């Protein structure tokens, strides 16, 4: 490592710090008393250091207000959506990658076309459909539309295509049925791809805004992302800056923890998600 | 079908058993809504009226498209000389590049198409005594394009420079990458929450820092000059990570030998970046740009939550207009016509993305 390398690190630390500042500020504000924040947000070093310190915003958040409930809704929706997407994507992905059957090419093409349809282009008809069924304000209304997005199928299909054929053939010679091969042989091999897809879906579910906004009109069915939007649109009447920021921190905690633990998978998942819809 | 002693599903049967769950949800929640959206766009369809009485919709053919996109006495001419001149310049550049074969055929074609659109489309304007039926639609599309035109180069250039600087496998570099990627995992509502306060002229960090230097605070979100800049800044901060990762992947593909050879010719640092890195990243750049265009054309949350489309509609964007037309004004027919318009633009770029992605692999 030469001298230039250390200069580069130092030079890069400045933008990196600036990049961190907004997040840091949110966390720091959430640990300051509302009375102080009402006067000024820059008590200690522009408010980036939480002095005077208090954890009251968090205890207040859990004592009253709907944030814990919204958090729970988000967990239910995100876990439900993740399991649902995994179920339909692994099965369809396997069938399209490894089995031969009539109309296969056509189905692949039809699914490819579906990749081009953005959520924003179908949310109105979906809204009227779900209204006809009387499904709005429910968990399945929040979960189902994402299960129809073919990106997971393609992710799994590409993964299964890369597995050598002879593993399957050995099992076929032993007289094992296709469904059993899928369940006992292929699925265990697919764990890394499933992990990527699970994280992609979980992040999407946790962070999605537009569909919950139109589908969940009762506050009881808000996800945390939607709840946070409703808090910030009436700041003035809200419970004070510190508590709003504490809600923001709580809303970000699961995805940030997920990111820090499974960094490689998260980066991979988001890159796949970003590059294919 | 029987094979040996046990009854098995044939390959075809097994395939359909495995495919049915996905195909059913796909047909019901994506294909059907897509066509239903087109169907709705052909009706005068009031959300509330139809909710009470399903027969309250009326088939109007393409009227909604006309009411959204057209007007009375629309003529064509050089109505926005700057944009149209830019388009002409683009066409000339495309012709030149095609002859010198500098940029790759696909890029040239894309440039030519965009330039032609720039010459042609802004030329429409209401003639004497005429007006657009919907005064807000085209300005909204313009705002969306403006947002894309700022956010995409902003993200692409900063991500590329960062990736080039961070392209070493050391612990410190890894930590820095993590820092830059972190904001990417946050939800749009957290991002807007943070930046709303950051930009606040009274409580905001930016105002507080500016005060130290004796500058008077800017009303970022309520000043027509700064509102768009504010949501672009928040967006660049939010969505730099993926672009950076794509560039890092692209950089991995450039062989180290080229740099070593160039170093012998005294091409290092910025020179090496300009003459080696940039040309070799051409495909990645195209990919990132197309991806970002698709992503940012669908901008909604930043505008909806930070500026509410204001001040004076300067940050009103297409998806927010669709949302408002549908769910505030209950005009589902017109909103659907706009959604079809959005889909067509997205579809165009998706096709480009598909071609570019194919070329890459």
The range of the structural domain enclosing residue A254 comes to: 63-276
**pLDDT tens digits along A31-81:** 999 888 888 888 888 888 888 899 889 998 888 788 999 999 999 999 999
Query: Are B142 and B111 found together in one domain?
Result: no
User: pLDDT value at position A277?
Assistant: 45
What is the structure's pLDDT at A51? 85
The answer to whether residues A27 and A98 belong to one domain is no
Task: Give yes or no: residues A32 and A92 share one domain.
Answer: no
What's the rounded mean pLDDT across residues A107-121? 89
Mean of pLDDT values over A99-120: 91
User: What is the per-residue pLDDT across B232-273, written as a single tens digit (0 to 9) for each?
Assistant: 999 999 999 999 999 999 998 888 888 888 888 877 778 888
Shared domain for B90 and B223, answered yes or no, is no
Collapsing DSSP to helix, strand or coil, B204 comes out as coil
Residue B178 near residue A262 (C-beta atoms within 8 A): no
Contact flag A102-B26 (C-beta cutoff 8 Å): no
Tens digit of each residue's pLDDT (9 = 90 or more) over B28-56: 999 999 999 999 999 999 999 998 888 88
A148 and A14, same structural domain? Answer: no
Host domain of residue B103: 75-132
Do A78 and A48 fall into the same domain? no
More confident residue, A240 or B20: B20
Interface pTM (ipTM) of the complex? Answer: 0.92
CB A215 within 8 A of CB A127: yes
- A45 and A118 together in one domain: no
> Are B109 and B173 within one domain?
no
- Three-class SS state of B308: coil
Q: How far apart are CA A232 and CA A229, in angstroms?
A: 5
For A122, which of B34, B246, B295 is closest by C-beta distance?
B34
How high is the pLDDT of residue B85?
Answer: 92
Average pLDDT, chain A: 90
Q: Percent of chain A at pLDDT above 90?
A: 64
Question: Are B125 and B176 within one domain?
Answer: no
Q: Which residues of B touch A98 (CB under 8 A)?
A: none
- Examine the domain organization and report whether B128 and B144 are in the same domain: no
Residues B90, B201 within the same domain = no
| CATH code for position A178 | 1.10.3720.10
In this structure, the answer to whether residues B80 and B207 fall within a common structural domain is no
Sign of CA dihedral A96, A97, A98, A104: positive
Contact residues, chain B, for A175 at CB < 8 Å: 3-4, 6
Look at residue B102 in the predicted model and tell me its pLDDT. Answer: 66
- Do B308 and B223 lie in a common domain? yes
- Spatial CA neighbour of B254 closest among B288, B282, B229, B232: B282
User: Are B169 and B253 part of one and the same domain?
Assistant: yes
**Shortest Cα distance, chain A CAs vs residue B179, angstroms:** 6
Residue of A nearest to B244 (CA): A271
For residue A264, name the pLDDT band (cuts at 50, 70, 90).
confident
One domain for residues A49 and A75: no
Domain count, chain A: 2
Number of domains into which chain B is organized:
2
The reply to whether A197 and A272 lie within a common domain is yes
Residue B219 lies in a domain: yes
CB pairs under 8 A between A and B: 283
Q: How many residues does chain A have?
A: 277
> How much is the pLDDT for B112?
87
The residue assigned the tokens 């393609």 is A154
Q: Tokens at residue B343, please?
A: 């889909």
Taking the Cβ of residue A95 and every Cβ of chain B, the question of whether any pair is shorter than 8 Å is answered with yes
User: Which residues on chain B are in Cβ contact (under 8 Å) with A20?
Assistant: 179, 182
Residue numbers in A near B26 (CB within 8 A): 111, 114, 148, 150
Question: Are A73 and A141 contacting, i.e. CB atoms less than 8 angstroms apart?
Answer: no
Please give the average per-residue pLDDT across A193-212, as a whole number. Answer: 94
> Which residue, among A160, A26, A191, A179, has the nearest Cα to B187 in the 3D structure?
A26
| pLDDT band per the 50, 70, 90 thresholds, residue A237 | low
Instruction: Please identify every stretch of chain B with a pLDDT value under 70, giving residue numbers as ranges.
Output: 1-7, 102-103, 358-361
On whether both B82 and B190 belong to a single domain, the answer is no
Q: Which of A80, A86, A148 to mutate to test the interface with B (most CBs of B within 10 A)?
A: A148
Residue A97 has pLDDT above 70, yes or no: yes
Let me know whether B312 and B213 are in one domain.
yes
Shared domain for B143 and B287, answered yes or no, is yes
Please tell me the predicted confidence (pLDDT) of residue B106: 74
Kindly list the residues from chain B whose CB atom is less than 8 angstroms away from the CB atom of residue A95.
14-16, 18-19
CB of A108 within 8 Å of a chain B CB? The answer is no
Task: Tell me the average pLDDT of chain B.
Answer: 89
**Do the Cβ atoms of A122 and B197 come within 8 Å?**
no
Peptide bond into B311 cis (omega under 30): yes
B100 vs chain A: nearest CA distance in angstroms?
Answer: 31
> Is residue B61 in some structural domain?
no
Tell me the torsion sign for CA atoms A131, B34, A155, A199: negative
């Amino acid at each position: 490592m030469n001298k230039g390398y250390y200069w580069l690190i130092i030079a890069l630390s400045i933008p990196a710090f600036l990049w961190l500042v907004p997040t840091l500020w949110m966390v720091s504000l959430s640990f300051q008393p509302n009375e102080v924040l009402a006067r000024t947000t820059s008590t200690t070093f522009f408010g980036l250091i939480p002095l005077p310190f208090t954890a009251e915003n968090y205890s207040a958040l859990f004592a009253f207000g709907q944030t814990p409930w919204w958090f729970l809704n988000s967990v239910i929706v995100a876990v439900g959506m993740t399991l649902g997407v995994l179920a339909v994507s692994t099965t369809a992905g396997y069938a399209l990658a490894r089995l031969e059957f009539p109309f296969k090419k056509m189905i692949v093409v039809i699914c490819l076309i579906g990749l081009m349809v953005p959520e924003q282009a179908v949310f109105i008809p979906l809204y009227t459909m779900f209204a006809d069924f009387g499904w709005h304000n429910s968990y399945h209304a929040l979960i189902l539309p994402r299960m129809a997005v073919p990106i997971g199928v393609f992710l799994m299909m590409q993964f299964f295509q890369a597995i050598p054929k002879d593993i399957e053939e050995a099992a076929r010679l032993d007289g094992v049925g296709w469904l059993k091969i899928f369940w006992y042989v292929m699925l265990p091999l697919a764990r890394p791809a499933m992990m990527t897809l699970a994280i992609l879906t979980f992040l999407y579910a946790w962070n999605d805004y537009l569909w919950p906004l139109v589908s969940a009109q009762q506050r009881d069915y808000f996800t945390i992302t939607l709840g946070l939007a409703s808090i910030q649109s009436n700041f003035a009447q809200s419970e004070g800056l510190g508590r709003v920021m504490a809600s923001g921190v709580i809303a970000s905690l699961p995805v940030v923890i997920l990111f820090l633990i499974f960094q490689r998978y998260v980066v991979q998942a988001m890159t796949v998600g970003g590059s294919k819809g | 079908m029987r094979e040996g002693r046990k009854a098995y599903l044939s390959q075809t049967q097994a395939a359909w058993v495995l495919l049915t769950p996905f195909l059913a949800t796909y047909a019901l929640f994506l294909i059907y809504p897509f066509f239903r959206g087109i169907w709705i766009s052909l009706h005068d369809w009031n959300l509330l009226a139809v909710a009470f009485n399903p027969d309250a919709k009326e088939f109007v053919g393409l009227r909604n498209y006309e009411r959204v996109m057209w007007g009375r006495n629309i003529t064509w001419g050089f109505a926005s000389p700057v944009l149209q001149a830019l388009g002409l310049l683009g066409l000339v550049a495309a012709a030149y590049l095609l002859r010198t074969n500098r940029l790759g055929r696909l890029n040239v074609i894309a440039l030519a198409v965009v330039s032609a659109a720039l010459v042609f489309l802004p030329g429409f304007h209401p003639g004497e005594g005429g007006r657009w039926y919907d005064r807000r639609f085209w300005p909204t599309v313009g705002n969306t394009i403006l947002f894309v035109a700022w956010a995409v180069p902003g993200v692409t250039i900063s991500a590329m420079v960062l990736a080039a600087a961070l392209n070493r496998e050391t612990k410190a570099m890894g930590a820095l990458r993590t820092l830059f990627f972190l904001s990417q995992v946050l939800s749009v509502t957290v991002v807007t929450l943070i930046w709303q306060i950051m930009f606040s002229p009274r409580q905001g960090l930016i105002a507080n820092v500016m005060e130290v230097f004796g500058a008077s605070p800017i009303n970022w979100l309520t000043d027509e000059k700064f509102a768009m800049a504010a949501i672009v800044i928040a967006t660049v901060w939010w969505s730099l990570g993926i672009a950076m990762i794509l560039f890092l992947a692209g950089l991995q593909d450039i062989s180290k030998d080229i740099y070593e050879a160039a170093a012998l010719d005294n091409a290092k640092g910025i020179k090496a970046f300009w003459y080696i890195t940039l040309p070799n990243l051409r495909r990645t750049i195209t990919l990132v740009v197309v991806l970002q265009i698709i992503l940012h054309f669908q901008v909604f949350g930043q505008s909806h939550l930070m500026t509410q489309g204001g001040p004076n509609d300067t940050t009103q964007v297409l998806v927010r207009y669709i949302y408002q037309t549908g769910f505030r004004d209950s005009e589902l027919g017109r909103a659907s016509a706009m959604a079809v318009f959005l889909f067509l633009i997205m579809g165009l770029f998706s096709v480009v993305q598909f071609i570019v992605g194919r070329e890459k692999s």
